[in-house]
Structure 1
Amino acid sequence: MDTGAEAVCRKRGRGDLRVARVPELSRRETGPRGAARHTAANAALAFPSRSRAEAAAIETELLDEYRFGPQQLIEMRGYACAVAITKAFPLSSLSRKQPTVLAVCGPEQNGAVGLVCARHLRIFDYEPTIFYPKRSHCTLHQDFTVQCEKMDIPFLSYLPTEVQLINDAYNMVIDAILGPETDIKSVKEPYTGILTTLKQVKIPTASVDMPSGWDVEEARADGLQP
């Protein structure tokens, strides 16, 4: 089942989703008021305790009735996640000298949120690396990918299966793999292998939505444990 930007891609056609890129948000917007505002916006757009049908209905309402654009919603969520990470894991608290973070992005909307989050973390002086094993064909998501590439954010060609390599290279993992629209029983490679690897990491994990591998319908938390 597709929701949000993925559904809009299919409904309107890929070419119709090419809209003006949102300008980079300035550092002064990361103060307490800005953080609270954007974190609240993210909470309204992420549906960890709602069913897939409820999540789809809310997002459809935002798109159709409130006239938010798909890019606008994803940009808000990605920025809010980046701000939340700077509050929970400030640069001064990181265990490694280099402020490295690994963003693991899935093929649907959560993956796009992860791309935006990584871009803003780069602005906030973190050093993100992105693992994006199956890139979306949606033009909107391709735009987010190009923006990251233009900011010289590196993309991994593979995820090390030796967990200690991840622990040694990064301060934390950003989980932007699976969203609440995902049927957990239908998840296949490479994502089953990715989840198996990330379940074993010792560094912190921050999820941009419901942690990947959790089942929103059956209230099971068998996936990642941020």
Structure 2
Amino acid sequence: MIRSTLTRLRIPRPIRRYSKLATMSLKAISAKDAASLDKDLMETGGWSLDQLMELAGLSVAEAVWRVHPPNSGKNVLVVCGPGNNGGDGLVAARHLAHFGYVPSVYYPKEGKNELYQRLKTQLQNLSIPFVTDFPSALKSTDYLIDAIFGFSFGGPLRDPFGDIVSQIEFASVPVLSVDAPSSWDVQSGPPKEGPGAKFMPGALISLTAPKPCVAHYRGRHFVGGRFLTKNIAEKYGLDMPKYQGVDQVLEIGVDAEGKL
């Protein structure tokens, strides 16, 4: 009797409710101001480059966990450039190994900073391989992290990165880009032609704050790098991301406001 009554009533399934945080947007910061902000964090905020890179890399690894959990495929290829963006990728690879993934690293042009060499040693101590055959690694991975160039990239792409970006651009593997899709101008977005002109990663994590190029991006967008203070945010006119609990990332919209 009860079952028949419920059937007649046709009680609807609960409506899935989405948090407003998932659709919020944050103000964008220019490359010049992003560099100045990092300098402020280190000179007046008491942060070291190691600390900033550690939190940035951790947020990248958590974003991967959100969009591509281990049961979707554990093999993750991290493609690193020679600068701080590449360093973030090296840190992310270490965290991914601890998260249960099987990361590998393609590092065609290593950074000269002693910090990068220490990060590389940490990965070697975890038996994380540094691959040299990029086309083969690209075919065998389940997911790829683009940690080649970040907000300081000014273009054009120099060897060997033009060919690398082209291979990523037309590969079938899903991609998460760190801070900006590599080859994109931080202000104006993707190049009009050549490598990267059609590059649109499935996920993007903006570190500290979105960059203006996010206006050209279409995909899942996260903000990470949980080291902003109220004073620094006010100085640069930024919104404080409303991270939840112990989360290191926050998914946000892609319609960030332009340069402040």
Which residue matches 1:78? Answer: 57
Which residue matches 2:162? Answer: 192
> Which of 201, 207, 226 is equivalent to 2:171?
201
Greater gyration radius = 2
> Which of 151, 168, 184 is equivalent to 1:214?
184
Which residue matches 1:23? Answer: none
Between 102-111 and 207-216, report the one with greater CA deviation: 207-216
Which residue matches 2:153? Answer: 182
Q: Does 1:171 align with 2:142?
A: yes
Task: Tell me if the contact between 1:133 and 1:158 (Cα under 8 Å) persists in the aligned partners.
Answer: no
Q: Write the distance in 1 (CA, Å) between the matches of 2:49 and 2:160.
A: 26
Q: Write the distance in 1 (CA, Å) between the matches of 2:145 and 2:190.
A: 21
- The residue type equivalent to 1:69 in the other structure is S
Between 127-136 and 211-220, report the one with greater CA deviation: 211-220
Which residue matches 1:59? Answer: 38
RMSD between aligned residues: 1.8
Which residue matches 1:225? Answer: 200
Q: Write the distance in 2 (CA, Å) between the matches of 1:206 and 1:220.
A: 16
Alpha-carbon spacing, 1:52–1:64, altered in 2? closer, same or farther (3 Å): same
- The residue type equivalent to 2:36 in the other structure is A
Q: Does 1:125 align with 2:104?
A: no
**Which residues of structure 1 form unaligned runs of 5+?**
1-43
Q: Write the distance in 1 (CA, Å) between the matches of 2:130 and 2:100.
A: 17
Identity %: 33
1:128 CA displacement = 0.4
- The residue type equivalent to 2:150 in the other structure is G
1:221 CA displacement = 5.9
> Which of 141, 145, 169 is equivalent to 2:116?
141
1:65 CA displacement = 1.1
**Which residues of structure 2 form unaligned runs of 5+?**
1-25, 202-260
1:50 CA displacement = 2.7
Which residue matches 1:153? Answer: 128
The two structures have a TM-score, normalised by structure 2, of 0.62
- For residues 127-163 of structure 1, the C-alpha deviation after alignment (integer angstroms, 9 at most, x for no partner) is 0010000111100111101101110000112311x7x
> Which of 68, 80, 86 is equivalent to 1:105?
80
- Larger helix share, 1 or 2: 1
The two structures have a TM-score, normalised by structure 1, of 0.71
Q: How many residues align?
A: 171
- The residue type equivalent to 2:91 in the other structure is V
Q: Write the distance in 2 (CA, Å) between the matches of 1:193 and 1:166.
A: 13
- For residues 34-83 of structure 1, the C-alpha deviation after alignment (integer angstroms, 9 at most, x for no partner) is xxxxxxxxxx9xx9x43221111111111111110000000000011101
- The residue type equivalent to 2:138 in the other structure is I
Task: Tell me if the contact between 1:50 and 1:216 (Cα under 8 Å) persists in the aligned partners.
Answer: no
1:86-101 to structure 2, matched below 5 A, reads: 86-92=65-71, 94=72, 96=73, 99-101=74-76
1:27-46 to structure 2, matched below 5 A, reads: none
Please list every run of at least 4 consecutive aligned residues from structure 1 whose deviation after the TM superposition is greater than 6 angstroms. Answer: none
